[in-house]
Amino acid sequence: MSRHEFQTEVDQLLKLIIHSLYSHQEIFLRELVSNASDALDKLKYLTLTDDRLKTLSFTPRLDISIDENASTLTLSDNGIGMNEEDLNANLGTIARSGTKNFLSKLSGDAKRDSNLIGQFGVGFYSAFMVASRVDVVTRKAGEEKAWRWTSEGHSNYEIEESQRDSHGTTVVLHLNDDGKEYASSWKIRELVKKYSNHIAFPIFLTYEKTEWEGEGENRKSKKVPTTEQVNEAGALWKRSKTELKDEDYKEFYKSISHDWEDPLLWFHTRAEGTLEYTTLFYIPSKAPMDLFQADYKPGVKLYVKRVFITDDEKELLPTWLRFLRGVIDSEDLPLNVSREILQQNKILSQIKTASVKKLLGELQSLASNDQEKYLKFVGEYNRVLKEGLYSDYANREALLDLVRFKSTKVEGWTSLAQAKDRMQSEQKALYILTGGTEASLRASPLLEVYRKKDIEVLILDDEIDEIVFQGIDKYKDTDLKSINKADVGEDLKDKADEEKEKDLKPLVEKIKKVLGDRVKDVRVSFRLAESPSCIVTGDDDPSVKLQQIMKAMGQKDLPALKPILEINPDHSLVVKLRQLNEGALFDDAAFLLLEQALLIEGVPLESPNTFVARLNRVLDQAV
């Protein structure tokens, strides 16, 4: 026998489950049934693809049995099973960084944490909510040895060699005081119906049924061992839409997603034509915990003619759709399709393309028909939609219609189509502003002229906006322009502005001389109303924010940031500067015009000391 310590994270998770989930104890059964179902799926697949297991004949099933006297609940599957190494890896550590990340987000506040944990598959360890000890006896398919894992859910577990007639896993829960109520056949029947009715394999319940015999005084009860099937065990997605109720869809969602909230939406599609397949996709009402984790777990399972093939294939759908949960079931793929060839498979890629088209269409009609629900969707998934804009070129048009924006004109969210409808008659493009938090963008001097002319600007405050919108310059036939760029403002210029430009030419030249290679150019601005100056970037240069991101990502050899400085011809400071002779004060003022504009854009100053000395020299003359 060998004794092992749980990895620290497991210990943490165990404590958390026990403390946060006491009002949801019953989900332990769903978790264990789901593990058994996965184990059956995996073995079924291997009997089709693995030469060593092709001869194995097996009828997948899960048996649950109750022993009231011993107060135990036992789940036994004839699935893939585990060897010693698997046991240590699976029931002793947490490999996924998504889980670790989840744990680090916890606050210690039980109420808040239990909300969080609801979106997260707690898995096997939830058994310790209802059991004071858990024994796992398991044998891996194709191997001779069996193993027994046992733990009381404190900081350690033990493993020893054991006996099992055949492959599979038996989990014995020694129920604690809280768990006693689960040693009841009606309770288990109720829970299986509630959480696991649509598990694809039959679940049998074995218990002692009380039967009565005899009449009158001779009437006696006796206990008769009884076994009955307690779930429907069909592929729900193969049934017709008309036959299925909302409740059926929701139940199935919960059984495949570990989520206990209802899904936001689902789309059930049967395609019959050149290709025959069924898809059932769900959108969770809360974005999955690991959505922005590199090792996220994909949520869509692939089946071929109802046989499970894989739940770990990230290429089934475009990456930006990784929040979807559900099933793809193809009639055309060969059953023994190996995972390696899945990625280049033509049929799958056709299913993928068609599924994405269909989904985009459904989302579009949701956006038109049920605003409230659509905004919920946007609240959770706007950012991944933008990722789609960047990575899924073929669907860019459709995605541009689905993404929502903040705006200087309306509260809440707006679409590009709506912003386009609101365009002023003289307005030449749809304007966007990127590169900061919502508050800093809304305060940007770059917005001044647009505000004055009552032109809408869309506020893009997601970190990725910078990169995503760099490559998008049109919405339908309308230009999409970032107002941080030098070129914009040109079409907002009028006659008077051209006069001013001529007038100020000497001043501009003087400032340019003083600032030297700190700037790419100095220009008269047509976009400022209140501020004396602002910086913009050349049309082909990366924006200030993007340069910062590139630097933060360790990109070396970046050319020094050279902005274009624009000065406001109507600002009193600029007007006064025209009168000022060249000299120390003029130089200080020129640099301060540049440095204040950099600060507002969130660019750290190269030398704060020089800036402060300059500011003090100027103040000294003023007070």
Q: Which of 33, 44, 79, 381 binds ligand ADP (CB under 6 A)?
A: 79
Confirm or reject binding of residue 17 to ligand ADP (CB under 6 A): no
* Cα–Cα distance for residue pair 498/462, rounded to 1 Å: 36
Least gap, CB of 238 to ligand ADP (angstroms): 24
User: Which residues 35-54 are close enough to bind ligand ADP by CB under 6 A?
Assistant: 35-36, 39
CB closer to ligand ADP, 161 vs 509: 161
CB closer to ligand ADP, 88 vs 278: 88
Look at phi and psi of residue 326 and say left if phi exceeds 0, alpha if psi is from -120 to 50, else beta: left
Confirm or reject binding of residue 90 to ligand ADP (CB under 6 A): yes
CB closer to ligand ADP, 90 vs 184: 90
* Cα–Cα distance for residue pair 90/98, rounded to 1 Å: 15
Confirm or reject binding of residue 63 to ligand ADP (CB under 6 A): no
Stretch that binds ligand ADP, among 105-113, 118-126, 200-208, 480-488 (CB under 6 A): 118-126
Confirm or reject binding of residue 88 to ligand ADP (CB under 6 A): no
Find where tokens 């386009």 sit.
420
Contacts of 166 (CB under 8 A, 6+ apart): 78, 139
User: Which residues 548-607 are close enough to bind ligand ADP by CB under 6 A?
Assistant: none
Residue 134, φ and ψ in degrees, nearest 5: -125, 130
Least gap, CB of 545 to ligand ADP (angstroms): 38
* Cα–Cα distance for residue pair 409/252, rounded to 1 Å: 43
Least gap, CB of 612 to ligand ADP (angstroms): 56
Least gap, CB of 79 to ligand ADP (angstroms): 5
CB closer to ligand ADP, 102 vs 303: 102
3-state secondary structure of 353: helix
CB closer to ligand ADP, 106 vs 615: 106
CB closer to ligand ADP, 123 vs 489: 123
- The vertex-199 CA angle with 179 and 113, nearest 5°, equals 50
Stretch that binds ligand ADP, among 116-124, 376-384, 533-541, 598-606 (CB under 6 A): 116-124
Q: How many CA atoms lie within 13 A of 381 on its CB side?
A: 24
CB closer to ligand ADP, 174 vs 512: 174
Stretch that binds ligand ADP, among 74-82, 368-376, 486-494, 554-562 (CB under 6 A): 74-82
Q: Which of 27, 45, 88, 121 binds ligand ADP (CB under 6 A)?
A: 121
Q: Is-contact 368 402, C-beta < 8 A?
A: no
Nearest partner of 205 among 222, 223, 183, judged by Cα: 183
CB closer to ligand ADP, 130 vs 519: 130
Q: How many CA atoms lie within 13 A of 186 on its CB side?
A: 1
Nearest partner of 10 among 92, 85, 131, 106, judged by Cα: 92
Token duo for residue 98: 């998504």
Q: Which of 20, 169, 395, 484 binds ligand ADP (CB under 6 A)?
A: 169
Confirm or reject binding of residue 127 to ligand ADP (CB under 6 A): no
Confirm or reject binding of residue 123 to ligand ADP (CB under 6 A): yes
Confirm or reject binding of residue 153 to ligand ADP (CB under 6 A): no
Q: Is-contact 193 230, C-beta < 8 A?
A: yes
* Cα–Cα distance for residue pair 79/605, rounded to 1 Å: 63
Q: What is the DSSP letter of 144?
A: S
Cα–Cα distances in Å, from 159 out to 126, 152, 165, 464? Answer: 20, 13, 18, 48
Nearest partner of 596 among 444, 447, 494, judged by Cα: 444
3-state secondary structure of 330: strand
* Cα–Cα distance for residue pair 181/190, rounded to 1 Å: 12
Nearest partner of 436 among 600, 566, 552, judged by Cα: 600
Within 10 angstroms of residue 458's Cβ, the number of other Cβ atoms is: 24
CB closer to ligand ADP, 38 vs 276: 38
CB closer to ligand ADP, 72 vs 548: 72
* Cα–Cα distance for residue pair 470/472, rounded to 1 Å: 6
CB closer to ligand ADP, 9 vs 462: 9
Least gap, CB of 177 to ligand ADP (angstroms): 24
Least gap, CB of 237 to ligand ADP (angstroms): 21
Least gap, CB of 316 to ligand ADP (angstroms): 19
Residue closest to ligand ADP (Cβ)? 123
Which residues are near ligand ADP by CB under 6 A? 31, 35-36, 39, 77, 79-82, 90-91, 121, 123-125, 169
